[in-house]
Amino acid sequence: MILLAAYYILAIVVLTLHFTGHLERWNMEWLVFVFALTVFPAVLYL
């Protein structure tokens, strides 16, 4: 349960940094794609 909470908190932080433009400035936009790929199997399964 703690890992799931940590995943959600990290995903919220990544999305916030994405929408504020920090990820693009730091050349780390690929993190958005990593989180999208990790959540896709769960959405497909449900």
Sorted by where each begins, the domain ranges of the chain are 2-45
Both tokens assigned to 7: 């995943």
| Stretch (H or E) spanning 42 | helix 30-45
Residue with tokens 């908190």: 9
Q: Taking the model in full, what pTM does it have?
A: 0.79
pLDDT-based confidence at residue 46 (cuts at 50, 70, 90): low
Phi-psi region of 2 (alpha: psi -120 to 50; beta: other; left: phi over 0): alpha
User: What pLDDT, in 10s, does the model give residues 1-32?
Assistant: 888 889 889 999 999 999 999 999 999 999 99
- Distance separating alpha carbons of residues 8 and 1, to the nearest angstrom: 11
